[in-house]
Chains A and B, each alone.
Chain A
Amino acid sequence: MSLLQSLKGGGRHGVPASESRDPIGLAVAALNRLAQSQVLDRLGVRKQAEQTVFTVTRSGFKVATNAGRTFAKAGKKGQPGVRVPSASRSGVFDLTPTEDEQMLVDVVSEFAQEVVRPAAAEADESCTAPDDLLKSSLEIGLPILGIPEALGGISESRSAMAGTLVAEALAKGDMGLAVATLAPGAVATALGLWGTDAQQQTYLPAFTGEEVPAAALALNEPRVLFDVLAPSTTATKTAEGYVLNGVKSLVPRGAEAELFLVGASLEGTPALFLVESKTEGLEIEGDPAMGVRAAGMTTLTLTDVKVGSDAILGETDGSTYVECVRLSRLAWCALAVGTAQAVLDYVTPYVKEREAFGEPIAHRQSVAFMVANIAIELQAMRLVTYKAASRVAQGIDATREIALARKLCADKGMQIGLDGVQLLGGHGFVKEHPVERWYRDLRAIGIMEGAVLV
């Protein structure tokens, strides 16, 4: 690259490519580059370039995926796997969780409050979930929630409602850590829903066993106006199976993952592919984003990745893929509800304690009405999400309801995040309070595809 080219104004640093530098701009840019190199030398930061340990916080550093375990092939190929039945249809409108669901929510809520919330700030900073937190999430059974009982899981019937309640409860602790702990379960649940006997027997024992693998549902791609239904990652059929090529973005815990479920276009129709991390041609790179950082987001690059003909999960007509997209969006709605509840619970005492002009700011309608609107829209988000989840659990088509829940949770969730910071004023902008993190996390709803699933 010539010096002149490298000093071109636009196309980098968020500057539109149409921008060009005038002579003063060129001088400033050159000075800036010099200053940067001095800083690098003085702090000895350059040595870090030789460091081989992967960290999500540093982008532009590609490594091969986790060598991972060998999943021993088992079960009958092509034979349908175990399926759980839909939940029963009572026909009665009821907002009360079942006893089992309530117990589950109580356990997860305590975990969220005692373990997740205290770890959230540091996990956000370091873009990693603490090991002991991940271990205890396994103890409370998060990854096996959606696995059929017959395969060592705990699900007797379709568990989308329970999954929704759990995701909400976890996200009240922290959205990023919720995604980190739920990511393996997303792949396990997908195997339960759509896996063949062979796929279930090959992979699920690992998830129900002692050493649960990290795993990631990778649907997003780094493209403007991304349409998840038209991925540019491709799968090409060969004599032995398929060859995958493309880039997936915002893949949770990609560095540790031992199993990926990747969305790719097969002859123009999107489908899901199981890709083990030790497969050749996989590379991951840190992909830290505005929020949900504790989930250790990465990009996954697939270059001529060869998988077997049994790597396809579910149907090749696009039906499994679109169902997966919907169930993933539903899980993100549940996360939005949990985080929005955290905002409401935080600002409520704050505005009553914080005084201005001689009285609590909560005594002013402009402040109080903001809190009222958070409460109203939050409850609306919750009900619309629950309706979608209960339809999924009962085996009723939820296409419309999930779309509406996603729209509402994206719009109102972001508004709640925004108002949460505003209500704390300058204090909301600094990291002493968690509202700025929730603001960043809530922007993910409506953008995220994949990663979690109920």
Chain B
Amino acid sequence: MPINLEDPKKLRPLRDQVHQVAMNMLRPISRKYDKAEHTYPKELDMLAAMADGLNESGASEGAGAAGVRRDNSSTDTTVRNGSNMASVMSVAEMCWGDVGLTLSMPRQGLGNSAIASVADDEQLKRFAGVWASMAITEPGTGSDSANIKTTATKDGDHYVLNGEKIFVTSGERSDAVVVWATLDRELGRAAIKSFVVPKGTPGMKVERLEHKLGIKASDTATITFTDCRVPAENLLGSPEIDVKQGFAGAMATFDNTRPLVASMAVGCARASLDLTRELLAKAGVEVDYDRPATVQSAAAAKFLQLEADWEAAYLLMLQAAWMADNRKPNSLEASMAKAKAGRVGSDITLSCVELCSSVGYAEGELLEKWARDSKILDIFEGTQQIQQLIVARRILGLTSAELK
């Protein structure tokens, strides 16, 4: 088969459907929930039910964060454009509509991604339909997630959790929280496990919701765990502390979610580019793809640069998802995609505000909102700097002890 980087033919109908949903359901309520921070977007319930229906009917290959599980049993060697590509393409379309609302979609949280990635078959069945959010970050631990202080102590057929988690997306709205905790702080990253903690478990308390720069439709919670007892079977994956395997199990989630965050940045940035192109045209600036940028207006030249960077991020995103679909190790490419998409997401949305002057800066348009929403995408699921660190270590063949 020849090299081809067009959107996969079989996924185009899904992409176009999701685009219609984003345009007709998310955009009309986009500003409303940017203003009404911490108000639950009730409109999303119907949308989530629709997404569930799509998933069950098999009409989509996982339109959200659900479908990131790798099937290693297949010996099929034909090239696949599967669930990972479907996910990044549809999440990009949803985020073209609204990043905050997409992150608030019931049952499409990053916790669901973690469950899909590391749960065993019994757990997969038991947690089906559960809306799970993800709790990793702590007040004193950010990018160095191996250093978390929340503890899990075995007591009979339960684990007892103690600690404080911050920046839990949809932490109040979700049905359960996937909590990272250490079984033994002496044993480092190998002892870190994830636990599904159902909402209402005694000892778990949502302390407060954050007020943020952007993605205000998405709630961000601080949650404390005080002698919080969780059934032992809610530990995702193996309870053994395998020092050799180390952090790999837990970190595997990120290989799957980083292309998704890249797709969020890609979607949000395209919203800015689409509108800016139209506003520039109304102002008399048409971008010419054939004339040298140096003989066009500065605005057109800038737009060309932004669009070129966007195209780069989009294709790096597709590449990472395509590799996952075809069972190729993609942690380098996933980080490349997130690094590029994260930084160009900010550059594009901020530059579009500048190109559109006060029209871009004022709340009359959504350009200023997209410029606020995009910033988080260069931070969560591994900051720009963490992605560069991962890429650098891979390219240079250096360990984390050599390149700190």
Taking Cβ atoms with an 8 Å cutoff, the residues of A that contact B are 87-98, 101, 161, 225-229, 322, 325-326, 344, 348, 351-352, 360, 362-363, 365, 368-369, 371-373, 375-377, 379-381, 383-384, 386-387, 389-391, 393-394, 396, 399-405, 407-408, 411
Contact = CB atoms under 8 A, between A and B. Distances in A.
Interface string B290-317: 1111110000000011011101110110
B403 A365 contact: yes
Nearest to B292: A227
Nearest to A87: B2
A352 B86 CA distance: 39
B95 to A, nearest CB: 20
Contacts of B388: 365, 368-369, 372-373
A92 B5 contact: no
B311 A94 contact: no
A408 B3 contact: no
A371 B395 contact: yes
B312 A384 contact: yes
Interface string B69-100: 00000000001010001000000000000000
A130 B336 CA distance: 39
A365 B396 CA distance: 12
B402 interface: yes
Among A322, A376, A401, chain B packs the most CB atoms within 10 A around the CB of A376
Contacts of B396: 348, 351-352, 362, 368, 371
Interface string B321-341: 010000000000100100110
B79 A400 contact: no
Contact of B10 (A91, A375, A405): A91
19 contacts: A92-B1, A94-B1, A228-B292, A360-B402, A362-B396, A362-B398, A368-B389, A368-B403, A375-B336, A376-B336, A376-B340, A379-B336, A383-B312, A384-B312, A391-B6, A402-B289, A403-B308, A407-B293, A408-B309
A391 B289 CA distance: 16
Given A90-B1, A401-B311, A225 B295 contact: yes
Most buried by B among A97, A368, A389: A368
B2 A161 contact: yes
B81 A93 contact: yes
Contact of A380 (B3, B5, B290, B316): B316
B391 interface: yes
Interface residues of B, number: 50
B123 interface: no
B43 to A, nearest CB: 33
A383 B149 CA distance: 41
Interface of B: 1-10, 79, 81, 85, 289-295, 304-305, 307-309, 311-313, 315-316, 318-319, 322, 333, 336, 339-340, 385, 388-389, 391-393, 395-398, 402-404
Given A383-B315, A401-B311, A404-B304, A92 B395 contact: no
Contacts of A380: 312-313, 315-316, 336, 340
Contacts of B318: 93
A399 B290 contact: yes
A380 B313 CA distance: 7
A93 B85 contact: yes
Given A93-B5, A95-B5, A411-B305, A383 B316 contact: yes
Minimum-distance CB pairs A-B, first 5? A91-B9, A380-B312, A403-B289, A387-B5, A368-B392
B2 A381 contact: no
Contacts of B389: 365, 368-369, 372
Contacts of B4: 89-94, 390, 394
A166 to B, nearest CB: 13
Contacts of B311: 384, 387, 401, 404, 408
A405 B307 CA distance: 10
B398 A88 contact: no
Contacts of A394: 2, 4
Contacts of A362: 396, 398, 402-403
Given A387-B311, A407-B305, A411-B305, 5 more contacts: A96-B3, A368-B392, A369-B388, A390-B6, A402-B289
A414 to B, nearest CB: 13
Contacts of B395: 344, 348, 371-372, 375
B290 A93 contact: no
B214 to A, nearest CB: 24
A383 B403 contact: no
Contacts of A401: 311
A402 B292 CA distance: 12
A347 B260 CA distance: 31
Given A96-B3, A394-B4, A407-B308, A363 B398 contact: yes
Contacts of A379: 316, 319, 333, 336
B100 to A, nearest CB: 27
Nearest to B311: A404
Given A93-B85, A325-B290, A384-B315, A98 B1 contact: yes
Contacts of A402: 289
Contacts of A387: 5-6, 311, 315
Contact of B2 (A363, A384, A390, A408): A390
Given A351-B396, A371-B392, A93 B8 contact: yes
Contact of B308 (A348, A396, A408): A408
A151 B351 CA distance: 51
Contacts of A369: 385, 388-389, 392
Which among B10, B79, B289, B295 has the greatest number of chain A C-beta atoms within 10 A? B289
Contact of A403 (B304, B333, B340, B402): B304
